[in-house]
Amino acid sequence: MESRFFVITGGPGAGKTSLLEELGNRGYPTMDEGGRALIRTQRLIDGPALPSSDPTLFGDLLVSWHIRSFETARRLSGRVFFDRGLPDVFGFYAFHGLSAPDYAHRAARIYRYAAPVFFAPPWAAIYHSDAERRETYEEAVEVFEHTLGAYVSLGYIPMILPLGTVAERVRFVLDVLDDYADPRAT
pLDDT in the model for residue 182: 57
Instruction: Determine the 3-state secondary structure of 117 from DSSP.
Output: strand
Q: How far apart are CA 161 and CA 172, in angstroms?
A: 7
pLDDT digits (tens, 9 = 90+) for 89-110: 999 999 999 999 999 999 999 9
* pLDDT class of 11 with cuts at 50, 70, 90: confident
pLDDT in the model for residue 15: 85
pLDDT digits (tens, 9 = 90+) for 154-171: 999 999 999 999 999 999
Q: Closest by alpha carbon to 161, among 20, 2, 3?
A: 20
Q: Are 6 and 30 in contact (CB under 8 A)?
A: no
Q: Domain limits of the chain?
A: 5-180
* pLDDT class of 186 with cuts at 50, 70, 90: very low
Q: How much is the pTM?
A: 0.90
Residue 78 CB burial class (10 angstroms; 0-12, 13-18, ≥19): exposed
Q: Closest by alpha carbon to 81, among 169, 19, 133?
A: 19
Q: β-strands 80-83, 30-31: how paired?
A: parallel
The CATH superfamily assigned to 5-180 is P-loop containing nucleotide triphosphate hydrolases (3.40.50.300)
pLDDT digits (tens, 9 = 90+) for 105-151: 999 999 999 999 999 998 777 776 665 556 787 888 888 999 999 99
Average pLDDT for residues 20-38, to the nearest whole number? 94
